[in-house]
Structure 1
């Protein structure tokens, strides 16, 4: 019985810790908050691995592309 209670406490603690974290913002949020979008994009470009792991990086990049402030690179001539 004690073992079952201990396992239950560990599972409950794991669920509570997993729910803690940074809030995930939507693309619309980053469209409306330009300063936060720029800060997030700087943070994401500093750590390229973060782009694949962080939903906020993807939302900020999408908002940048959709906001019209995205500047495409020059076309390459091969």
Structure 2
């Protein structure tokens, strides 16, 4: 989540606004190590907002999962 935000130049406040997820929830989720927990619906809203912003999620490929920006942004 942090890496995706960084690619877009978004603050936590920006992601909260774009996803409709509360700022305290985002802060709590980003403070966790490892896989992001929380409700599936919350994760779906965050992922959708980041994807709408231009982030592509890369599946595990032996090097770990990741993110990149869609071409043309």
State the TM-score, normalizing by the size of structure 1.
Answer: 0.28
Please state which structure has a larger fraction of its residues in helix: 1
- Pair member with larger Rg: 1
State the TM-score, normalizing by the size of structure 2.
Answer: 0.29
Please state which structure has a larger fraction of its residues in strand: 2
